[in-house]
Structure 1
Amino acid sequence: MFTTKKIVSIVLVLLFAWPLTGVAGSLGKGEPTGTPGEWYLGTTPNYVEPNKSPIVFVHGLNSSASTWWVENDMYNTAYANGYETAFIDLYPTKNMWDNGQLLANQLEDIYNHFGEKLIVVGHSKGGIDAQAALVHYNAFPYVHRVITLSSPHHGSELADLAYSRWAGWLAGILGSKSDATYSLQTGYMNQYRSQTDSHPNVNRIPYYTFGGTAWGHFGSSLYWGGLYLSAYGPNDGAVTVVSSRLPYATEVSVGDWNHSGIRQGSSTFNLFEPHLYENANFANTSSSLEKNTSLSNSYYKGGTYQVNTSEIFAVEEGVSEITVDWISDQKNSTLILKDPDGQIHSNFSVNEEPDYSPFADAYHHSITIPSPKAGQWLMEASSKNENFLMGVFYKSNINHDLNISISNDRELTIYSDGETVEKDQIEAAITLIYYEDEKAKPSQIKLIKNEDSSSVKIPFLGAGVYNITIDISGQSSQGREFNRTVILSVYMDKNENIVK
């Protein structure tokens, strides 16, 4: 009698016996649901060169094994190039510890099936799960090397946003908070990197990385993520290039791919194909890319209302462009934006957030205003039982002049390096949310930074993730009010040290 695993594998072999055609598309939407713990065999090519290793493909957040063949030509491309393949289903919403342990068992089974070492290709969080399997669950004897396609090795600032003061409750309502999203906070990933990068197993298997820099046109599904992450450097709409890198890995390429396109066979297979041979040997060519320091490029407010509501935000002088993004659980909200002179702007584009986002199933209502008037702007909204998060993104010199640092002794300092900000007029309301772990109820406290002080001490509440929302108000050098919101995530260990 066949085991379930073997039955599924044979069904997939029969399915793959006919050529599959795929085009680039959105990740997750309409994909068959996978069964965690199953793996599937691709059709064996007529001839397999002895030095070509089998490829094992690992999916990312909120996805399944079918992401490699549904609206994707990756399987077809590998088959056409004479490679044996296997596809793995992990838990779509669990952290790297649960998935790493599960994946380690699957890799052993697949290794025994092929009778030779494997090449693992992981997309997004799949690359983190793969490293957890090899390093922490001792699956390295079954693998030649690992290739990661835009994996957030250092976390994603979008996950930080999902657990912040203004956005955390919305992500919870949307049902997109999970152990996986929690583990992708940059503070959590700092702790994970400290546990992983010093582990004796980390250098047993070579790693090769890819990063993307495209997030599509205005209003596209990845545009908002790319706009938010642009404060942290080049990104693909979900993961920054900096986060896609490992200091001991070989960076194969950083290209004009978005987070979905980078997993397409027609996009990247020919670039990582030279690394699929058993005897391939390449020097470490990882390059460095400094993070953008313009962390203060946006302002956030959020809430819920029954029939209508309004929000006010300031625009200082010299702003070349603003983009207002109203993230909502409602598709048909009525929005009116009024400038300081009462002029109405209502031509909002509407787009749904992709499945691999912490805000999956939300709708973005977005509008961009070039050369906006300085002063108070008013957003008016009407809908029924709407939950929303309003983000305003500024192109302004203040973005570069306003900075935030956290010292090793937990001093959070807000300061200005330039001439566009009145340094003695900066105030900040700071909301600190402490998470002992993903299961514990968070603790929330508020801190205030007044005009006469540049720093605030972050209290120690215990080991865990500290998600910090900093709402800044101040005056420009010409006396205009400005607003900004900065969201940070840090991990403090039991000795009250910030893990970096």
Structure 2
Amino acid sequence: MKKRFPLRYTGAFQNKASGNPGEWYLGNTPGSGSDSRRPILFIHGFNRSSDTWYEDNDMYATAYENGYETAFIDVYPDRNMWENGALLAQKIKDIYQHFGEKIVVVAHSKGGLDMQVALVHYGADPYIERMITLATPYYGSQLADLAYSRWGSWLANILGSKNDATYSLQTGSMNRFRSETDSQPNVYQTPIYTLAGTKWGRFSSSLYWGGLYLRAYGSNDGAVTVKSSRIKYATEIQVGEWNHTTIKEGSSTFDVFKPFLQEEVESFAHRQAAGTAHVAQDPEAGNYVSGGAFTGTTNETIHVEKGVHEMTVNWLSNQADSNLILTDPERNTHPYFTTDQDDDAFFEGAYHHTLTIHNPASGTWTLEASSAQEEHYLLNVSFVSPLNSLLSTALSSEDRKVKVQAQNLKFQTDVTIDYYQNGKLQLSDKKASQASEAAFHVPDLGEGLYNMTMNIHGSYAQQPFRRTIIQSIYADGHGNLY
């Protein structure tokens, strides 16, 4: 179904889009349009709707002012890329027939995955000239892994953020998706261009905390790492100082990708996508994660080893008025947390209570939380420390083992393995503490996702430390691990 909304001076529609999946909308026809300019179809991302392009965003207005005809479509905000890809494939032919020519797609975040499924698996490529993706997580997001982890599940369940979209964006699941998609012969048919960001949101915001957590996995925009935004057969336009929100704003990126809207592309099979390959890399162990539920008072212990340059404590909760007091080893209290509500994908609606300590004293810190009602929380402590690069994990597909490795450290590891089938938890298994160089067997329970939460504790420079590494692994029906 199509609708046309006239353009206001501000660039916004006079009426709001319905948000009904499958409905699509036409922007006003610009008077300065050119026959050589392809119309643009904008596709929104996870937990959003088509109005993301013109509500508090000048992308639509910028495209209009540059003489481009535009269309916008609503897809399911909380479903996986397979369902959205099938939906897009049904509707794109109608949009193509309306314009009478091929379309350029501009997709934000998961919208790029939805569109790639439509192109590669559902036959939409004859109607699309090329696709430009803005911070699309081609290899998933570690924040989705966190939402399904031993600690994050407490809060994600309450917020309702454990859905098909989040489940599909776990890194293990996305590695399986890449093997299914990148092997298709038509994957080179439609040229793909990518943009990625390296900035985070304001302090204590969802994208700031996301940036802190993802820092262990490389440069990121607060939700998606730069490495995840790249695929080997796409051409990277630019990596810039955008966060996951500003990268889709017209004043931020339209002029950057504008030359690629009408570029005459040679046979894409012969193009080189220099520097855009996704390179696997062990993450740094920069986070300690815990979580749970309580009423009254609870305490969390934070061990700070020597040499930590910065420590940021983020208490993510379903309560806005959490009462938190952080106490250092000298019994000094640090009660001044900044509170901000999460407005992004994976924990949307929760409240971030954030405090950063520079050059924190080594030793045992205590975080006390009190609440008059039941509170569900996720605690993430992010460290800038020489220790971070000394810990890593490695997956051995041959013997189905995940190994926790360290350089000259004494440590033990507790591992919880949560096994999911089709998004539903089937088994939760906690492994006993293991000695250094521990290897944990991934159980063979059938096809599905195995989310492994590894809690590592040990000694560094004669001071205790704690870190958490979360890894999702997908096993297919033949026992192959991704």
Same fold (TM over 0.5): yes
Cα RMSD after superposing both structures: 1.7
The CA distance in 1 between the partners of 2:420 and 2:432, in whole Å, is 21
| Residues 286/279 of structure 1: CA separation in 2 closer, same or farther (3 Å cut) | same
Question: CA shift at 1:273, angstroms?
Answer: 1.2
Q: 1:412 aligns with which of 399, 402, 411?
A: 402
Which secondary structure state, in structure 1, belongs to the residue aligned with residue 228 of structure 2? coil
Question: CA shift at 1:251, angstroms?
Answer: 0.3
Q: Is contact 1:231-1:293 (8 Å) kept?
A: no
The CA distance in 2 between the partners of 1:482 and 1:452, in whole Å, is 14
Matches within 5 A, 1:369-388: 369-383=357-371, 384-388=373-377
Q: Which amino acid aligns with 2:315?
A: W
* Matching residue of 2:452: 468
Task: For residues 330-350 of structure 1, give each alpha carbon's deviation from its aligned partner in whole angstroms, at most 9, with x where no partner exists.
Answer: 011110001112110011011
Task: For residues 376-406 of structure 1, give each alpha carbon's deviation from its aligned partner in whole angstroms, at most 9, with x where no partner exists.
Answer: 1111111121111111111111101111111
The CA distance in 1 between the partners of 2:30 and 2:396, in whole Å, is 56
1:202 is aligned to 2:187: yes
Q: Which amino acid aligns with 1:340?
A: P
Which secondary structure state, in structure 2, belongs to the residue aligned with residue 389 of structure 1? strand
1:365 is aligned to 2:365: no
Task: For residues 210-269 of structure 1, give each alpha carbon's deviation from its aligned partner in whole angstroms, at most 9, with x where no partner exists.
Answer: 000000342233100000000000000000000111110000010000000000111111
Q: Is contact 2:154-2:293 (8 Å) kept?
A: no
Task: For residues 301-342 of structure 1, give each alpha carbon's deviation from its aligned partner in whole angstroms, at most 9, with x where no partner exists.
Answer: 111111111111211111111111110000111100011121
Q: Which amino acid aligns with 1:487?
A: I
Which secondary structure state, in structure 2, belongs to the residue aligned with residue 192 of structure 1? helix
* Matching residue of 1:353: 342
Q: Is contact 1:448-1:456 (8 Å) kept?
A: no
Which secondary structure state, in structure 2, belongs to the residue aligned with residue 132 of structure 1? helix
Q: 1:309 aligns with which of 298, 312, 319?
A: 298
Q: Is contact 1:52-1:278 (8 Å) kept?
A: no
Q: 1:330 aligns with which of 316, 319, 328?
A: 319
Which secondary structure state, in structure 2, belongs to the residue aligned with residue 400 of structure 1? helix
Q: Is contact 1:429-1:447 (8 Å) kept?
A: yes
Q: Which amino acid aligns with 1:318?
A: G
Which secondary structure state, in structure 2, belongs to the residue aligned with residue 314 of structure 1? strand
Q: 1:395 aligns with which of 384, 390, 393?
A: 384
Q: Is contact 2:403-2:437 (8 Å) kept?
A: no
1:484 is aligned to 2:467: yes
Matches within 5 A, 1:40-51: 40-51=25-36
Which secondary structure state, in structure 2, belongs to the residue aligned with residue 66 of structure 1? helix
Please, which moves more after superposition, 341-350 or 457-466?
A: 457-466
Question: CA shift at 1:105, angstroms?
Answer: 1.2
The CA distance in 1 between the partners of 2:150 and 2:159, in whole Å, is 15
Q: Is contact 1:274-1:280 (8 Å) kept?
A: no
* Matching residue of 2:255: 270
The CA distance in 1 between the partners of 2:360 and 2:248, in whole Å, is 38
TM-score (norm 1): 0.91
Question: CA shift at 1:286, angstroms?
Answer: 3.5
Q: Which amino acid aligns with 1:446?
A: K
Q: Which amino acid aligns with 2:456?
A: I
Which has more strand, going by share of residues? 2
* Matching residue of 1:498: 481
* Matching residue of 2:246: 261
Question: CA shift at 1:279, angstroms?
Answer: 2.9
Which secondary structure state, in structure 2, belongs to the residue aligned with residue 61 of structure 1? coil
Q: 1:296 aligns with which of 263, 275, 285?
A: 285
Question: CA shift at 1:178, angstroms?
Answer: 1.1
Matches within 5 A, 1:138-153: 138-153=123-138
Q: Which amino acid aligns with 2:60?
A: Y
The CA distance in 1 between the partners of 2:27 and 2:252, in whole Å, is 20
Matches within 5 A, 1:429-468: 429-438=414-423, 440-451=424-435, 454-468=438-452
Question: CA shift at 1:70, angstroms?
Answer: 0.8
Q: 2:93 aligns with which of 108, 116, 136?
A: 108
Matches within 5 A, 1:59-208: 59-208=44-193
1:427 is aligned to 2:412: yes
Question: CA shift at 1:453, angstroms?
Answer: 5.5
The CA distance in 1 between the partners of 2:112 and 2:285, in whole Å, is 30
The CA distance in 2 between the partners of 1:441 and 1:427, in whole Å, is 27
Q: Which amino acid aligns with 1:400?
A: S
Aligned residues: 473
The CA distance in 2 between the partners of 1:65 and 1:433, in whole Å, is 35
Question: CA shift at 1:169, angstroms?
Answer: 2.3
| Residues 62/373 of structure 1: CA separation in 2 closer, same or farther (3 Å cut) | same
Please, which moves more after superposition, 144-153 or 48-57?
A: 48-57
Q: Is contact 2:285-2:389 (8 Å) kept?
A: yes
Unpaired runs of at least 5, structure 2:
none
Q: Which amino acid aligns with 2:305?
A: E
The CA distance in 1 between the partners of 2:244 and 2:414, in whole Å, is 34
Which secondary structure state, in structure 2, belongs to the residue aligned with residue 62 of structure 1? coil
Q: Which amino acid aligns with 1:169?
A: W
Q: Is contact 1:300-1:391 (8 Å) kept?
A: yes
Q: Is contact 2:456-2:468 (8 Å) kept?
A: yes
Task: For residues 57-105 of structure 1, give each alpha carbon's deviation from its aligned partner in whole angstroms, at most 9, with x where no partner exists.
Answer: 0000111111111111111111111111100011111110110011111
